[in-house]
Amino acid sequence: MSEQHGQNERQQPAVRKNASDSAPKTPVPAAVVPPAPGPKKKPRPTGLPVRSLAYPEPVERMIAEFASLPGIGPRAAERMALHILRAPPQAASELASAVMAMRQQIGHCAKCFNLAAKGTVTGVAVATGEGEAAVLCAVCSEPSRDDQQMLVVEQPRDVLALEQLKLYNGLYHVLLGRLSPLDGIGPESLTLGFMMDRLAAAATAGRPVREVILGLSPTLEGDATMLHIGEMLEPLGVHISRLSRGLPAGQALEYANKTALADALEGRRRV
């Protein structure tokens, strides 16, 4: 048996190893299957005009003008422009006339910077030293107003909202904005300097303002503006207050946020 086994080993040919056999084999990448071709587009028939998806230039201009207004999106601007296009020519003329009349006849009050109509019963023209006519609003031209109270607001629309309550009988001062450094609105962009001039003139005339009420929006910019106004008014010794904040009427306590609850707790009053 041992002799036969030795003969079998001698009869087996020696296998010669190549250097390439010992090297690691690189895997063959799989064949990339190209995507299936999509449906072929039908050729456009010759002789037909190429249609544009845009409106004519005057309509596109009107849509762009409406879309630049605050709170008006592209779809709403498109509907407004097409409505004017379908309206009678007289309606379009009246709209254009109303826009021009508002720009020409409405200005800011010379005292409080509220809106004032020039040459109407809601605006009183007062001759200034330079020979020009300064227009006063309906609030500043009313003699029964308490001139020792001043309520500071951001915009003329805030004056209208407060006047509709018929609870306040003092004067107003409109800042025409609020401090917002990120938007480039600083103290020089507001009417703070005119407010200080009004307070100084009232003190010189013997009717100093006793209280300045800050009626600004309860936002980060509004709070920063109130803080800045408080620092400006501190040397004058005038009483400074702000509109109360807290829980709105009809809202359950459990649904109020933490800021409203904190303001309501701080602004509590005796019953």
Give the model confidence (pLDDT) of 74-113 as tens digits. 999 999 999 999 999 999 999 999 999 999 999 999 999 9
pLDDT of the residue at 130 = 46
CATH number at residue 222: 3.40.1360.10
Q: For residue 121, give the nearest of 139, 138, 145, 140 by alpha carbon.
A: 138
**Mean pLDDT of all residues belonging to the chain:** 82
Q: How many CA atoms lie within 13 A of 63 on its CB side?
A: 14
Q: Which of 88-97, 172-181, 236-245 is predicted with the least confidence, judged by mean pLDDT?
A: 236-245
pLDDT confidence bin for 64, thresholds 50/70/90: very high
pLDDT of the residue at 28 = 52
Total domains in the fold of the chain: 2
CATH number at residue 88: 1.10.8.420
Give the model confidence (pLDDT) of 123-132 as tens digits. 555 544 444 5
Assigned token pair, 8 = 């079998």
- CA 109, chain centre distance (Å): 25
User: Is 93 a domain residue?
Assistant: yes
Domain check: are 184 and 239 in the same one? yes
pLDDT of the residue at 35 = 58
How many other C-beta atoms lie within 10 A of the C-beta of residue 172?
26
pLDDT of the residue at 71 = 94
Q: Is the pLDDT score of 200 beyond 80?
A: yes
User: Is 70 a domain residue?
Assistant: yes
**Which has more pLDDT, 241 or 13?**
241
What ranges make up the beta strands (E) of the chain? 106-108, 115-117, 124-127, 133-136, 146-153, 170-174, 211-214, 239-242
How many other C-beta atoms lie within 10 A of the C-beta of residue 174?
26
Beta-carbon contacts of 176 under 8 Å, excluding residues fewer than 6 positions away, are 108, 113, 154, 155, 190, 191
Q: What is the DSSP letter of 186?
A: -
Q: Are 114 and 174 in contact (CB under 8 A)?
A: yes
Packed helices 220-233 and 192-204: angle between N→C axes, nearest 10 degrees:
30
Domain check: are 232 and 175 in the same one? yes
Mean pLDDT of 199-206: 94
User: Is 79 a domain residue?
Assistant: yes
pLDDT of the residue at 246 = 81
Q: Which of 65-79, 88-102, 246-260 is predicted with the least confidence, judged by mean pLDDT?
A: 246-260
Q: Which of 6-20, 55-69, 194-208 is predicted with the least confidence, judged by mean pLDDT?
A: 6-20
Q: Is 3 helix (H, G, I), strand (E, B) or coil?
A: helix
User: Is 18 a domain residue?
Assistant: no
Q: Which of 138-152, 172-186, 215-229, 254-268 is predicted with the least confidence, judged by mean pLDDT?
A: 254-268
State phi, psi for 103 to the nearest 5 degrees.
-65, -35
Where is 158: in which H helix or E strand?
helix 156-163
Domain check: are 149 and 241 in the same one? yes
Surface-to-core class of residue 202, CB atoms within 10 Å of its CB (0-12 exposed, 13-18 middle, 19+ buried) = middle
User: Is 4 a domain residue?
Assistant: no
pLDDT confidence bin for 266, thresholds 50/70/90: confident
Give the model confidence (pLDDT) of 131-157 as tens digits. 455 689 999 999 999 999 999 999 999
Q: For residue 146, give the nearest of 214, 239, 209 by alpha carbon.
A: 209
- Domain span at residue 248 reads 144-266
Beta-carbon contacts of 115 under 8 Å, excluding residues fewer than 6 positions away, are 106, 107, 108, 109, 137, 156
Domain check: are 258 and 148 in the same one? yes
pLDDT of the residue at 257 = 82
Q: What is the DSSP letter of 180?
A: B
User: Is 21 a domain residue?
Assistant: no
User: Is 239 a domain residue?
Assistant: yes
User: Is 12 a domain residue?
Assistant: no
Q: Is 125 helix (H, G, I), strand (E, B) or coil?
A: strand
Domain check: are 169 and 257 in the same one? yes
